[in-house]
Amino acid sequence: MARLFDAVIIADWTAAEGKKLGDQSVWIGVAKRDVRFRLYTETHNTATRAEGEALLNRLISEHRKRGDRVLVGFDFNLGFPAGTAERLKLSGTPWQAMWKFLASNVVDKADNTNNRYQVAAKMNRLMTDEAWPFWGAPAKQAQRWLTTTKPPAGAGADIPELRATEAAARKGKLQPKSVWQMHGAGAVGGQTLVGAPMVRRLLESLGPSGAVWPFGTGWRALDTADVEPLSALVVEVWPSMFDGKPQPGEFRDQAQVRATAEALAKMDEAGELAKAFAPPKGADEALIARVEQEEGWILGA
């Protein structure tokens, strides 16, 4: 079976303020083939998200000029738990409405300063007028609508803590965090708030040659005909699913983007990637609609 993609690009994003390299900064891993078609990976580190975004655009553009198809994975949520857009009284398809809302509210400057905590507090105010569902802020960012600690059990009870995909990915030590957690080890809330507008810009610049799975493609197995018109397909990944042990001299995040890019490229080579785009057995129509319209899904969960 023919490979679906010529290269895999994986971005490990950050919500950090201030310029930073190394741990807790932006890492981008690329798995591609050399002139003899042997798979190899390279990793890049940028000090700011703006530099990371420019690098992603450049990498995708270089592949596009060669006529390559690229799978581009991001390590933050591309969707929110069911009902979020409705709570915010947004109209239109929920995932698009959420991206539009974030793009018009999040301010993320070239030096990495951003207003993610203020946006989380605003969303809490609009959704519940309480300090939830978003939670977790450094003491200096805490305020009436955003607290440092997790809200009491049952607070915002009708707002799911997890998307269906996080529930599906939870196995043993693998415990993906809720998007509502803004601060602390492994928290993904801040990355999602600053990341979604960046993905939206990326897809806008690609026009019809870019798509996002499963929102733009449907939640189904993809074949060559599906990806042929594309230069880039954007997906959500969770690097902890792949065994990214750092090699000597490697940073943890660097190892994760390398291992994830390699693993997905090898799955593609073995003809196994196509079916990873399909829903798990037993997914009913209601779940499929929820995933395609609002929540999204982690590739391989």
pLDDT tens per residue, range 37-77: 899 999 999 999 999 999 999 999 999 999 999 999 999 99
Per-residue model confidence as pLDDT tens digits over 200-235: 999 999 999 999 999 999 999 999 999 999 999 999
Query: What is the pLDDT at residue 1?
Result: 63
Residues 185 and 222 occupy one common structural domain: no
Asked, for residue 258, whether it belongs to a domain, the answer is: yes
Q: How confident is the model at residue 170 (pLDDT cuts 50, 70, 90)?
A: confident
pLDDT > 90 in the chain, percent: 88
pTM: 0.96
Query: What is the pLDDT at residue 37?
Result: 84
Q: How confident is the model at residue 174 (pLDDT cuts 50, 70, 90)?
A: confident
Residues 66 and 214 occupy one common structural domain: yes
Query: What is the pLDDT averaged over residues 119-131?
Result: 96
Residues 269 and 183 occupy one common structural domain: no
Out of 134, 165, 189, pick the residue that ends a domain.
Answer: 189
What values do phi and psi take at 154, rounded to 5?
Answer: 95, -15
Q: How far is CA 151 from CA 140, 178, 180, 205, 222, in A?
A: 18, 13, 11, 39, 40
Compute the Cα dihedral for 58, 32, 73, 272 and give only its sign: positive
Q: How confident is the model at residue 161 (pLDDT cuts 50, 70, 90)?
A: very high
Q: Which domain holds residue 219?
A: 7-77+196-295
Q: Which two tokens stand for residue 250?
A: 């490697």
Query: What is the pLDDT at residue 4?
Result: 97
Query: What is the pLDDT at residue 145?
Result: 96
Judged by DSSP in three states, 175 sits in: coil
Residues 13 and 70 occupy one common structural domain: yes
Q: Which residues contact 70 (CB under 8 A, 6 or more apart)?
A: 5, 6, 7, 8, 9, 59, 60, 63, 64, 231, 232, 233
Asked, for residue 210, whether it belongs to a domain, the answer is: yes
Residues 209 and 64 occupy one common structural domain: yes
Residues 71 and 212 occupy one common structural domain: yes
Out of 172, 189, 206, pick the residue that ends a domain.
Answer: 189
Residues 69 and 211 occupy one common structural domain: yes
Asked, for residue 100, whether it belongs to a domain, the answer is: no
Query: What is the pLDDT averaged over residues 183-196?
Result: 94
Out of 147, 165, 189, pick the residue that ends a domain.
Answer: 189
Query: What is the pLDDT at residue 91?
Result: 97
Asked, for residue 300, whether it belongs to a domain, the answer is: no
Asked, for residue 101, whether it belongs to a domain, the answer is: no
Residues 146 and 200 occupy one common structural domain: no
Residues 290 and 235 occupy one common structural domain: yes
Structural domains of the chain, count: 2
Q: Which two tokens stand for residue 271?
A: 């003809």
Asked, for residue 301, whether it belongs to a domain, the answer is: no
Residues 88 and 177 occupy one common structural domain: yes
Residues 72 and 206 occupy one common structural domain: yes
Asked, for residue 232, whether it belongs to a domain, the answer is: yes
Residues 180 and 211 occupy one common structural domain: no
Asked, for residue 1, whether it belongs to a domain, the answer is: no
